[in-house]
Amino acid sequence: MSAPVSLIAIGFGVVILAFVFLRHLVLDLNEIGASRFGEKVIQLGNGSRIYIKRETRGLNYDVVAVSKNQNVCVSADPETDLVFKYDVSPLAISQSEDMLLIFWAGGVNQPKHPLSGVVVKNVRPDSLSAEDIASMKVQQIDVPLEFEKTGSSDCKKK
């Protein structure tokens, strides 16, 4: 009778060790999932501001959002923000008095409530002619990751 009890105790111990290992693994993966944020503020000629934000987390989450929300460490909201997966091509813009024109060759999630004054052209920025770039004052946008947020912690400048 003692042999089956010993096997049960060993099996129970293995299960406990596996649980502890998996728990630590999940916690470590959450650290990999810490979000990093960046933003560029675009001020149109009419004084309105549009925020181009970037968020990365984990191994393959990298998105850019065009938003009216000025809080840099808030994830994109598909209800109100244009959301681009940031692995296809560079993002380029042209701005005027009351409009921001975005050149992008990848997929974009259009918000349920469109952003006024923002138009997306499905064109690779590097395929524009030099004449178009000059006449529309097209500029490539890079959004460096300057802020970090882990779990429920506050957003901090890196």
Q: Which phi and psi angles does 20 have, rounded to 5°? A: -60, -45
Q: What is the pTM of this model?
A: 0.74
Give the span between the Cα atoms of 121 and 158, in whole angstroms.
33
pLDDT digits (tens, 9 = 90+) for 19-63: 545 454 444 454 456 899 999 999 988 899 999 999 998 888 889
Residue 117 CB partners (closer than 8 Å, separation 6+): 44, 48, 50, 98, 99, 100
Cα(20)–Cα(36) distance, integer angstroms: 28
Whether the per-residue pLDDT at 155 is higher than 80: the answer is yes
Task: For residue range 135-146, list pLDDT tens digits in order.
Answer: 999 999 889 999
| Residue 26: predicted pLDDT | 46
Structure confidence by residue, pLDDT tens digits, 13-30: 555 555 545 454 444 454
Q: What is the pLDDT of residues 65-93, one digit of tens each?
A: 999 999 999 999 999 999 988 765 678 99
User: In 3D, which of 69, 141, 142, 70 has the Cα closest to residue 111?
Assistant: 69
